[in-house]
């Protein structure tokens, strides 16, 4: 299971890296971006945070202009696959919200959860495919650096997960 989480994290990092590179390549000649949505999942809801992180990865890995262009091409090619999945996921989240705020219907919630699970599976497959394509563009040194960064992140996450929760204040 740890390996799957690690791969998923790696895939997400790669997707975000590609998104940041694509965004930075087109920022000067593109129309203003649509308003960022702060609800939902995936890249759509947290675009600013991901772009900031991706700039860090691009610098840390010292990507060449050619690598950035190739990653941008990958993201443009995959965008038609990813966008409808994120939209479907968002629509299901909106439908689920009605069962939080209104009458609860377990059968309908289960059906929506099953649909969402299928969409998340497709997103995982697409993100892993994108990650693989981008990872293949890295030099052996960049691949080593990426693995090191991921291992450090995993270690920090494990440390954080094993820390004792803060004790509530006593009155």
pLDDT tens, 29-70? 443 344 334 333 344 444 444 456 667 778 889 999 999 899
Kindly list the domain boundaries of the chain, sorted by start residue. 2-24+44-138
pLDDT at position 53: 60
- Identify which has the larger pLDDT, 51 or 74: 74
27 vs 171: CA distance, rounded Å: 53
In this prediction, residue 137 has a pLDDT band, given cuts at 50, 70 and 90, of very high
CA distances from 132 to 11, 14, 38 (A): 8, 8, 28
Q: Tell me the mean pLDDT in the region 104-130.
A: 95
pLDDT at position 52: 60
């Amino acid at each position: 299971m740890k390996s799957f989480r690690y791969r998923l994290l790696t895939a997400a990092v790669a997707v975000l890296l590609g998104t940041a590179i694509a965004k930075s390549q087109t920022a000067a000649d593109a129309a203003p971006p649509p308003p960022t949505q702060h609800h939902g999942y995936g890249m759509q809801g947290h675009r600013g945070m991901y772009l900031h992180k991706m700039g860090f990865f691009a610098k840390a890995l010292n990507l060449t202009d050619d690598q950035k262009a190739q990653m941008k091409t990958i993201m443009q090619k995959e965008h038609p696959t990813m966008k409808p999945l994120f939209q479907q996921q968002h629509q299901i989240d909106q439908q689920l919200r009605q069962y939080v705020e209104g009458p609860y219907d377990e059968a309908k919630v289960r059906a929506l959860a099953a649909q969402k699970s299928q969409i998340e599976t497709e997103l995982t497959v697409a993100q892993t495919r994108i990650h693989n394509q981008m990872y293949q563009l890295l030099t052996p040194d960049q691949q080593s650096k990426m693995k090191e960064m991921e291992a450090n992140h995993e270690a920090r996450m494990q440390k954080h997960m094993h820390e004792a929760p803060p004790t509530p204040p006593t009155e």
